[in-house]
Each structure stands twice: as structure tokens, then as C-alpha cells.
């Protein structure tokens, strides 16, 4: 199977993760005017399942190192499989809340708050589980990101101060999504082997973990997304009949493409985690907060109503995010 053997390449893969994780929500924005986001979400999940299966039978099955996907899944114990499934279920709960928050507050708000909190919690939980890098430098980077999150929340409040909209709903859903999102990666990492080249028995390779993880997302969607279809936290009710009748080929492909983008990001991050360490790989990947904020600010114009005297908050937020991410990278090199 394909394996990364240098920290430099691992960081590159994490930056690709950052771009993918920060960009997939554009597909939701593109389709949200045409049909309910709950229906978009089904295609998004299908996209994640398809890309992880494709990678398992391609990158995960060729080459001399490691175990091929079929051989690996046949020898896996139940503990590893359950751990990857739990990671998928937790992620799905968190991500569906994030999608709702995007619908309410926009990418430039939901991502920095939700995924920023996930970055902070994820780095802590993954570092405790598998320490990699200088802890002081790593957590200074996390602190800088935390301050950036706070500034983003302040900016959102300033935007809504002269409107009748309640900022608390979007912020609270984003915060809840971030707290849940901070724990899913740990379960996926725990299911995997620690040596990708010579994998220990019973545990699973990253490619197998990704497939099982994606099925955890799919299975739990029948609970989480079905509930949200009939009793939505935001938007109108919908049903399975509308998924079949309202969706055009273009709309379905947009949703699937969104899932493929996110799935590539997740796959590259997991593949990079051996060389970078789970804490740093996850922390860099969640730099998606900055990418999503760039989309939200400059493409979707979500901060156009921010008072001019408060616009300095935006460059300060980006500066702190960049500084935090740079510090997280350095933590592995010291």
C-alpha cells in the first residue's frame, strides 16, 4: 500500500487536507438554494463512502509494504472495527450539526468556531493518546487558534447587533459541533496499526480504517439525518420522496463531489498521521478553519455587513490562525 516516509511529505498531505476540509462546504452553499441541505447531506455521505472504497482498492492494495485492503480487513479484530465505526458515528453527529450551523450562520462563522474548537480538543486528545512533538510549542499554537476563534465570534456578534437575528443559535450549534468533532479522530487513530510498513496483527491499516469509518457515517445517517429531515433544527421539513423527486443529476453530483473532497482530505490526513503524529496531523488538517473563512469572507461575502470600524477583526483573525498553524508545524521539528 502507499505509505508516506518523510515528515515533509506528511505536512504537504496535511495542507491538502486543510484545503479539502475547508472547501467542501462550498458544494453545500451551491446546492442550498435549490433543495434542502438534509437531502444534500445524503449525497455528501455517499461521496465519502465511494472515495474511501476507491482508495482502499487502489492506494491501499498496491505496493510491497503493509497489507492489502482485503487481507487487512480479513485479519482485523472486532475492537479495531468497532473503534473506527465509533469514530464515524461521532464525526457524523458533529458534522451534521456543522452543516446546520453553516446553513444558519455561514461558512465564515460556523467553521472558525466549530472546527476551531475541534482543533483545540482534537490536538489535546490525540496528543494524550500518542505524544508527538514539543508539548509547549504545540499548545502555544493551539492557544493562538483559540484566540482567533474568539475574535471570529466577536465579529459575528457585531454583524448581527443591528438585526433581529439571534446570534446565539448559530454560535451554540457551532460550539456543540466543535466539541463533538474534537473526539472522533482519536477513535480512528486507535483502530489503526502504529507501523504502516510492518503492520501489527489484529489492528487495521489506514485505508481499512477509512472504509469502516465511512460506513459508520452512512449507518448513523439513517438516525441523525432522518431525524433532522422530519424535525429540523433549521429550515423546512423534508422526506425521502423529495430526495428522489426534487434532486436533479447536477444536484446529486454536487453533493457527491462535496463528499469526495472531504473524503480525500480525511484520507490524506490519516495516511500522513504516522509521520506527523495524530495530534499534529489533525491540528494541521483543521487549519481548514482558515480556508473556509477565506471562502466565506472573499467569495460568499459573509462579512459584508460588519461595521467598518470593526473590520480590523478579520485580518487579526487570519493572522492568529496562520501563526497558530505555523507553530503547530514547528512543534514536530523541535
pLDDT at residue 91 is higher than 80: yes
- The answer to whether 209 and 270 are in contact (CB under 8 A) is yes
Q: Which range in 10-19, 121-130, 279-288 is most confidently predicted, on average pLDDT?
A: 10-19
**pLDDT at residue 304 in the model:** 85
Q: Does residue 149 surpass a pLDDT of 90?
A: no
Distance CA 150, CA 251 (A): 35
**Does position 256 have pLDDT exceeding 90, yes or no?**
yes
Q: How far is CA 235 from CA 31, 204, 227, 305, in A?
A: 14, 40, 13, 23
Mean pLDDT of the 74-79 span: 96
Mean pLDDT (the chain) is: 90
pTM: 0.88
User: DSSP secondary structure string, 258-298?
Assistant: HHHHHHHHHHHHHHHHHHH-HHHHHHHHTTHHHHHHHIIII
pLDDT value at 329 more than 70: yes
Non-local (6+) Cβ contacts of 165 within 8 A are none
Mean pLDDT of 272-279: 88
Asked whether the predicted pLDDT for residue 231 surpasses 90, the reply is yes
Separation of alpha carbons 129 and 279, rounded Å? 9
- 241 has pLDDT over 80: yes
Out of 100-114, 190-204, 268-282, give the one with best mean pLDDT.
190-204
pLDDT band at residue 167, thresholds of 50, 70 and 90?
A: low
Q: Is 314 exposed, middle or buried (0-12, 13-18, 19+ CB in 10 A)?
A: middle
pLDDT (mean) for 203-210 = 96
pLDDT over threshold 80, residue 162: no
Over residues 19-30, the mean pLDDT reads: 91
The domain ranges of the chain are: 7-333
Reported confidence tier of residue 74, pLDDT bands at 50, 70, 90: very high
When pLDDT is averaged across residues 306-315 and rounded to a whole number, the result is 91
Amino acid at each position: 500500500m502507499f505509505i508516506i516516509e518523510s515528515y515533509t511529505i506528511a505536512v504537504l498531505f496535511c495542507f491538502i487536507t486543510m484545503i479539502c476540509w475547508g472547501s467542501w462546504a462550498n458544494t453545500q452553499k451551491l446546492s442550498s438554494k435549490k433543495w434542502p441541505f438534509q437531502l444534500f447531506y445524503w449525497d455528501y455521505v455517499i461521496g465519502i463512502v465511494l472515495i474511501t472504497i476507491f482508495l482502499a482498492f487502489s492506494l491501499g492494495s498496491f505496493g510491497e509494504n503493509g497489507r492489502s485492503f482485503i487481507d487487512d480487513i480479513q485479519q482485523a479484530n472486532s475492537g479495531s472495527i468497532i473503534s473506527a465505526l465509533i469514530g464515524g458515528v461521532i464525526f457524523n453527529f458533529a458534522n451534521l450539526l456543522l452543516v446546520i450551523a453553516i446553513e444558519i450562520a455561514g461558512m465564515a462563522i460556523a467553521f472558525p468556531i466549530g472546527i476551531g474548537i475541534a482543533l483545540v480538543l482534537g490536538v489535546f486528545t490525540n496528543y494524550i493518546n500518542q505524544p508527538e512533538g514539543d508539548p509547549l510549542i504545540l499548545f502555544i499554537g493551539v492557544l493562538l487558534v483559540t484566540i482567533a476563534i474568539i475574535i471570529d465570534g466577536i465579529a459575528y456578534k457585531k454583524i448581527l447587533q443591528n438585526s433581529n437575528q439571534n446570534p446565539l443559535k448559530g454560535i451554540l450549534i457551532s460550539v456543540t459541533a466543535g466539541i463533538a468533532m474534537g473526539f472522533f479522530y482519536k477513535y480512528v487513530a486507535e483502530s489503526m496499526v502504529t507501523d504502516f510498513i510492518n503492520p501489527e496483527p489484529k489492528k487495521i491499516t489506514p485505508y481499512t480504517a477509512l472504509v469502516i469509518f465511512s460506513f459508520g457515517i452512512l449507518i448513523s445517517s439513517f438516525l441523525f439525518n432522518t431525524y433532522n429531515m422530519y424535525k429540523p433544527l433549521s429550515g423546512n421539513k423534508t422526506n425521502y420522496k423529495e430526495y428522489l423527486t426534487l434532486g436533479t443529476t447536477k444536484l446529486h453530483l454536487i453533493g457527491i463531489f462535496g463528499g469526495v473532497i472531504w473524503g480525500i482530505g480525511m484520507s490524506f490526513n490519516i495516511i500522513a498521521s504516522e509521520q506527523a503524529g495524530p495530534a499534529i496531523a489533525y491540528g494541521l488538517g483543521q487549519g481548514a478553519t482558515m480556508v473556509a473563512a477565506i471562502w466565506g469572507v472573499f467569495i460568499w461575502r459573509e462579512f459584508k455587513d460588519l461595521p467598518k470600524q470593526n473590520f480590523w477583526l478579520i485580518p487579526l483573525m487570519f493572522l492568529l490562525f496562520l501563526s497558530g498553524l505555523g507553530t503547530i508545524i514547528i512543534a514536530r521539528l523541535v
